[in-house]
Structure 1
Amino acid sequence: MPTTPALSFDPLDPAAQDAVRALAAAAAEHDGVAPLSEQPLLRLGTDADWLTHVVARDDEGTVVGYLQVDRGGDDASAELVVHPDGRRQGVGGVLLRTAERDARLPMFSGAPGQRGKPLRVWAHGDLPAAQAFAAAHGYEVARELLVLARALGPDDAARDVPDLAGLALRTFRPGADDEAWVRLNARAFADHPEQGRLTVDDLHDRQREPWFDADGFFLVVPADDETSEPLGYLWTKVEDQPEGARAGESRVGEIYAVGVSPDAQGRGLGRALTAVGLRHLARVGCDRAVLYVDGDNAAALATYAGAGFERAAADVQYARPAVA
C-alpha cells in the first residue's frame, strides 16, 4: 500500500540539488520530455522568500519527487516532477496539495503580496498522463507555450544581415552590457510573467552555463552611437552536441529570446532579428531551429510563421477555474 512521502522544505544543499537533477533526468528519459524548465533548475540553489523548494523522499530516504513554487509574479507558478518508479503512489497529489497551500499561505514567508495567489502548474509536453492528472484534480488549461521548429539549410547560412535603417547590430559584451540588457528585457517583456522579471543575477546564471556564447547574443543599437541603450536583442542557445548528432541526427539550435523595446516597435526588428538568429544557428552547424512562444501572442506567431516555423509541441500551464 502506498505510504505518504516524507517532505522537506529547507533550501537545497549541493547533494539535494544533485538528487533533484538526477530525478529530472530519469523522468526525462522515461517521458521523452524534460519535466522541469530551465529556470527552476537554475534556481535549485536559490534561497528567497518568494521561492519554495519541496523534496519528497520514500521510506529509504530516496528522492522520489520535487516541487518548486515561485510566488514572485502575479500568480504562483509551480513545477513538479515524480520519479517514474514512484508514480501512481500519491506522490504527485501530495506535492500538488502542498503547492496549493503554499500559494495561499507561504510556508516560510509572510512577505506582503505573497499570500492568496492563484496557482498555475506547468506540464511540459502536456503528456496524456499530465492531462489526466490535471483533470482528476479539477485543473484546466490556462496558458499554452508553443514550441515552434523549422529546418535550417545553406540558404539560411548565406543570409545577408537585414537592413536595420539607421541601426547597427553588434554582439553582447558580458560585464559591459549586463545592466543595459536587463533594462531592455524588462521593457520588452513588461507584461510577461517570467521573462520580464529576469535580473542581473539571472543573466549571470545563464552566462555560467556551458551553452552560453556571447557570439550568438546580438544587440541592436543606434548606428551613430553603439554605446547607447540597446533597442532590441536576439539571443541564441546551442547545447553541447550529443553523441548521436555526430551519427547524422539533427543538431538543434534555439532562438532563445527576441526582445524589442516599445520605443522601437513597428520597425520590423522582430522579423530582422529572427533572420539574424537563423543565419547564426545555420553557420554554427545547426540544421534545425526551435523557439518558444505563448500561444496567444498573435504578432510573434505571425512573425515566426513568416520565417517558416511550424508547431512542434507545447507546454501547458494548468489552473483551477476561477470561481464566479
Structure 2
Amino acid sequence: MKGPIAILGARSLLGRHVVNIFQELHPDVCLEMWTQSDGVGNVNSVKRLIACISEAELIINCHEARDLSMAPDREALHFHNEQFVAEVLRNSTAPIIHISSTLVQCSDFWPNTYEPEREASKYGIALAVKAYCKSKHLAEQELFASHRSAVVLRIPFLYGEEDWGSPVTDAVMAANIFGSIPNIGDRGGAFQIIIVGDDTPVGDVYDNVVEAVAKNPKRPMSTYNLPFLPLYYIYLAIGWLLLAVNKIFDVSGSLSKMPDPSLLYLIFHHWTFFNTNKSTNLLPDHEELSREYVVKKSRDHYALMNPNRVRTSWQLHIE
C-alpha cells in the first residue's frame, strides 16, 4: 500500500509512535495527519478532517477523549468518542483501524484475566468507569453497524517516552507532593499497562512499571506501606457524600479532580490483564528493541520530567 494513510490523533502518545513506525519502516507511504490542534466542531475543522480522510486508503483513528474522574465530562466523551467516529464514517469509505480501550471489557467486580474481547454489556453495572466505557463501546458498535472493513484494537494505559498522563505520571506527581512514591496495597493484584515498542510482563503496577521506570534516588519509594482497602472505603464514602452534595450544590469541579473509585480498585487491588493474541498477530514486531533498552529510555524520560507539566491519568484529556 502506497497510501495515502490517514492517521487521526497524530499527536497523541500512540499516534506519534504510529507515525514514527511508518516513517522508519515504510518511508514511501504517503501519510495524511489530523490532530486535535486542528480543532473539532466547527466548519473549518470538519473541512480539514474531510481533506485528511477523503482520499485515504486506510484510516487509523487514535483520537479520543478520556475522562476517568468522578464527574466525567459526558458531552466531551460523546462528541469526541462517538460523534467523531460518525463524522469519519460519513465522509470516507476506507477501512478503519480504530483504537479503543481494554477498560470496555473490564469489571471491577470479577477478575479480568486473559479474556478475549467481550461485549461491554457482559458486566452490566459492574463495568468500570462507566461514562468513558459507554462512549467507547458505542463508537465500536457504530463502526460494526456500518459494515465497514474495520479492526478495533482495545489497548490498556500506555506509558513510556512522551507520556504525560498515565499511572506512572501519577506516581511522579505523588512523589513531588509527598517526597516519595506512596506504597499502597499488598501488591496482590495485577494491573496491566503497556509500553510502546515492548510487552510489559503481567504483574502489579509497582513491581513491573513504577519501580522500573519512575523510581530513582531523588524519587524513592515510601518505606511505609498503606493498606488499600481501608483507604478505598474511606475514599468511596467521601465520594458518595460529595455526589449527594452535588445534587444540591455544584461541586462538580472538585469531583472532576478525583479519580473514579473503580479505577483505583483496578490499579491497586484487582486482577486485570488481557489476551494479547490479536494485537500480537496484527502489529509489527520490534525484535531489535530489548526490554532493557525501552525501560532505560522510559526511565530517562520520567527522570527528566517536570512534575508541573504532568497531568493526572484520570482527568479529562483530549488527544
TM-score tier by shorter-chain length is: under 0.3
Bigger helix share = 2
Greater relative contact order (Cα < 8 A, sep 6+): 2
The structure whose Rg is larger is 1
Structure 2 length-normalised TM: 0.28
Structure 1 length-normalised TM: 0.27
